Amino acid sequence: MHEVDFHWNILIVIYLFTAGISAGAFVISGLATYLGGAKYKRISRIGALIAPWPLVFGLSMLMFDLTKPLQFWWLFLTVQWTSPMSIGSWLLTFFSILSSLYFLLWIPRPWRDLLRVPYRWADVFSPRRWQPMTREVVGISRRVLAAVGFPIGLGVGMYTGILLGAIPSRPLWNTPMIAQLFLFSAMSSGVATVLLIAAATPPAKEGHDHMHHERHFLVTVDAVLIVLEIFIVIPFFLHQALNTWSSAESVNLVLGGPFTLPFWGGVILLGLLLPLAIEGFELYPVVWKEAAVKYSRLWGGASAVMVLVGGFLLRYVFVYAGQVSHFLPLLER
Amino acid sequence: MANPAKESNTPPKKRWGFVMEPERCIDCEACMVACSVENQVPLGEHRNWISHKEMGIFPDLNITFMPENCHHCSNPPCERVCPTGATYRRDDGIVLVDYDKCIGCKYCMMACPYDARYVNEEKQAVDKCTFCVHRLDAGLPPACVETCVGGARHFGDLNDPYSEVSKLLATHDYYQLYEEAGTGPAIYYIRGK
């Protein structure tokens, strides 16, 4: 085997994973705000409250991966249009700002009132006259931020794949499908995090009905995302195996190479098929019996943890195996 | 061949490049030593290397030694992906790293199909072959060329039809590495007999 130093290591894996969770949590929160309003309020809140934090953690990991961690801000002195990393840095900056503002708007009531805003232009420079936000202002701001942040959240999710995919010299990465795979996996990881926290925290006061609505919504979205991922993985392998020699050889890393177990056992079985089976079991009464979604905290939490482990392993396998994959010289010239 | 220098007052743009003769390479690695000394390359890293290409089926076996370094591509993938613009290409085709601008994200190392780059811990930046640009600017050939005992490494201006490298390319069959990837490498290999 080609001798490889892994210049991108576990720090990059963690960063790609956490950026995906943030993007996914933000997008699902925005989606819940627009689709359900009051019905999915708890989902919107959980998503909004967690969205900024995984990314902050991931970005600090990313910083330590640099040989000059304290010079990370040089990324923001320039825009390099042909570098996915440069575009991604700016995208992450906008996303961080938006998700932080969105976070502030979703802080629960007694604490939110500590936050004061000027209501007249004349008050902008005299903070003493600022007032807590009214219900209407909060409602409109949430919707505006959700709408503006929605495409940026999708962009962040997609960027984590494009970062790898835009490199021709790594055949395992160099396919447009990796952007979609990482995007849907990011969304799925975000939804799973919201699911996990929803299962771990006490339900909203309104009662059991809301729980079922929430659960139905989250499980449906997650199941759809998992099915989409499966239909990316299948053509991904067919395409790579039938592509140039370098590409065909690169998939051997996960088809009977060093990354076979983490990929098929971790990503596919644990991260996609098992959670899909659990979610199918939960959704079964809705689809065939017109009854409420089956709900169990234990199974809900378990499927969410599996999705997260699978999402992490997906990044691990691709970041590491991709660095092993390379152009192959012609045997005979 | 028309000499563009005679048709206009401006001299033609230089395009520095290598022509390697693998048949003359004996894998002595003197070029690697010369480079490391000349450029103070940290121990364990190399700016140039010799790839071994094994061919044939027993008993007709053959091994070719291919001297290699950064290919100084005309369309460098490393330059394209650099998020800070630290990697740049000079007018004479030499691809360089601005060590002050490099933050060490290592994206260029992912993008280079030749694995020509390494992390220079002393400079805290990504580093690679410079074609000994400090020597070129002083009118000297790169250190690896000067030291090559077998005469396998030839260096010169590919745009000058009277240069040693252009003459070699005009009279020999040659190939390049991964040119199908669109990198436009500036290293040519003379095909063996």
Task: Report if residue A189 sits inside a domain.
Answer: yes
Instruction: Give strand pairing partners of B154.
Output: B19
Task: Report if residue A222 sits inside a domain.
Answer: yes
Q: Which structure tokens are listed for B116?
A: 């020509």
* CB of A75 less than 8 A from some CB of B: yes
Phi and psi torsions of B5, nearest 5°: -65, -30
Candidate from B77, B81, B191 with C-beta closest to A333: B191
Burial group, residue A2, by CB count within 10 angstroms (0-12, 13-18, 19+): exposed
Which positions in chain B touch A329 (Cβ < 8 Å)? 53, 177-178
How many other β-carbons are positioned within 10 Å of the β-carbon of residue B35?
A: 23
Which positions in chain A touch B106 (Cβ < 8 Å)? 7-8, 65, 67
Query: What mean pLDDT do residues B30-36 have?
Result: 96
Q: How many domains are there within chain A?
A: 1
- Enumerate domains of chain B plus CATH numbers: 14-190 (3.30.70.20)
Look at residues B129, B193, B141 and name the one whose alpha carbon lies nearest to residue B165: B141
Least confident of A49-53, A203-207, A247-251, B89-93: A203-207
For B65-104, write each residue's pLDDT tens digit. 999 999 999 999 999 999 999 999 998 899 999 999 999 9
> What is the CATH number for A69?
1.20.1630.10
Q: Which residue range forms the structural domain that includes residue A144?
A: 10-120+131-324
The CA dihedral of B86, B112, A314, A180, to the nearest 10 degrees, is: 80
- Cα→Cα distances A191→A144, A223, A225, A234, A286, Å: 21, 10, 10, 23, 20
Alpha helices in A242-294 (DSSP H): 245-251, 260, 274-289
Contacts (Cβ under 8 Å, ≥6 apart) of B115 = A326, B109
Q: What sign does the dihedral A308-A309-A310-A312 (CA atoms) show?
A: positive
- A69: nearest CA in chain B? B103
Contact A187, A220 (CB under 8 A): no
For B158-187, write each residue's pLDDT tens digit. 999 999 999 999 999 999 999 888 899 999
* CB of B28 less than 8 A from some CB of A: no
Q: What is the ipTM of this complex?
A: 0.88
Question: What does the radius of gyration of chain B's CA atoms come to, in whole angstroms?
Answer: 17
For A276-298, write each residue's pLDDT tens digit. 999 988 888 887 777 777 777 88
Task: Report if residue A214 sits inside a domain.
Answer: yes
Task: Report if residue A91 sits inside a domain.
Answer: yes
* CB of A122 less than 8 A from some CB of B: no
